[in-house]
Amino acid sequence: MKGLPPALITAIVLVAGFAACAMQFPNIASTRVVGNLLTDNAFLGIVATGMAFVIISGGIDLSVGSVIGFTTVFVALAIERWGVPPLVAFVAILVLSAAFGAAMGAVIHIFDLPPFIVTLAGMFLARGASFLLSTESVPITAPVYSTVSDFALRMPGGGRLTAIAIIMLVIVIGGALLLHLTRFGANVYALGGSRTTASLMGVAVGKMTIKIYMLSSLLAGIAGIVFSFYTSAGYSLSAVGVELDSIAAVVIGGTLLTGGQGSVIGTFLGVLIQGLIQTYINFDGTLSSWWTKIATGVLLFAFIALQQGLVALARRPVRKSAGATT
């Protein structure tokens, strides 16, 4: 994959898209809109970061949306009905979601099952469990929630960088560092490249698989807490379909779904592109929200076709030179 890295293409699309939107609606190019864009997509950015790890390692995690839903309900009930202090509730749900992810990773590794179907079962399980807890929306009135919601850094131009947007940015940066600078990150790439090769080179494949799914579920748990801050409520049907949005963000961000290549930053840009489409539709006012889905689908296709082309290009010279030597 020489030449333009896919994440750079994503960045160009984002900048071009933003410029095009700003030309039509000059107000889009303000820190207010950008601040809102970050706040509205905070939970998606967090989940997508975890999804990037899973997909780069050659897997997929369909359970994240349900884990978010479960988290919001659990946190709301714990704080409002069971009288647990918010911080304790947060720690409990993070431990719970990490254990959930670890269990899925263990099942995938030990029984050698496709991640797709195992995390599908996880999706049913988490959503079903949140239905069991409560089927109605539980409002959260704890003082922490209003404090966090009110907290914001002022940006020049009147924009507000909210607490949940800051959490998201910290996690994205932390995720990028973890993926690109640590041995754990290198192992994630190695697993995605080839499981067998990675194992032969001394990567503890089982432990890595468990850790990667643990990370994804943990981030989904954090995203759930952020989502509960965003809506000040817990609802078992919240974040339905978020797994698709985050997979789309990862793919638009230039990560190969076959694994082995990709980046957290690209994923973050992918989230911003989806957010930008949504913002444009809001500004336009005449377009319905379902245009978001169509636009996302078209972008998905464009990026996957592009990757397919790049991969084909990267392979071609190798084949030719191999032919020349024989």
- Minimal distance in Å, beta carbon 231 to another protein? 20
User: 8 exposed, middle or buried (CB, 10 Å; 0-12, 13-18, 19+)?
Assistant: middle
Q: How far is the CB of 278 from another protein (least distance, A)?
A: 13
Ramachandran quadrant class, 3 (left: phi over 0; alpha: psi -120 to 50; beta: rest)? left
Neighbours of 262 (CB within 10 A): 26
Instruction: Identify which of residues 283 and 291 has a Cβ nearer to another protein in the complex.
Output: 291
Asked whether 242 and 89 are in contact (CB, 8 A), the reply is no
Site residues, another protein (CB under 8 A) = 60, 107, 109-114, 116-118, 120-125, 127-129, 131-132, 135, 206-207, 236, 244, 247-248, 251, 257-258, 288, 290-294, 296-298, 300-301, 304-305, 308
Q: How far is the CB of 322 from another protein (least distance, A)?
A: 17
Which residues, at least 6 apart from 181, have a Cβ–Cβ distance to it below 8 Å? none
* CB of 301 vs another protein, minimal distance in Å: 5
Question: Least Å distance between CB 133 and another protein?
Answer: 10
Shortest reach from residue 291's CB to another protein, in Å:
7
Minimum CB distance to another protein smaller for 21 or for 126: 126
Q: What is the DSSP string of 176-238?
A: HHHHHHSHHHHHHHHHHH-HHHHHHTT--HHHHHHHHHHHHHHHHHHHHHHHHHHHSEE-TTT
Which lies closer to another protein via its Cβ, residue 44 or residue 161? Answer: 44
Is-contact 160 35, C-beta < 8 A? yes
Whether 303 contacts 310, CB under 8 Å:
no
| Cβ closest to another protein, residue 39 vs residue 236 | 236
Distance CA 191, CA 258 (A): 11
Nearest to 220 by CA among 99, 314, 320, 308: 99
Q: Which is nearer to another protein, 123 or 140 (CB)?
A: 123
Return the number of the residue (207 or 316) whose C-beta is nearest another protein. 207
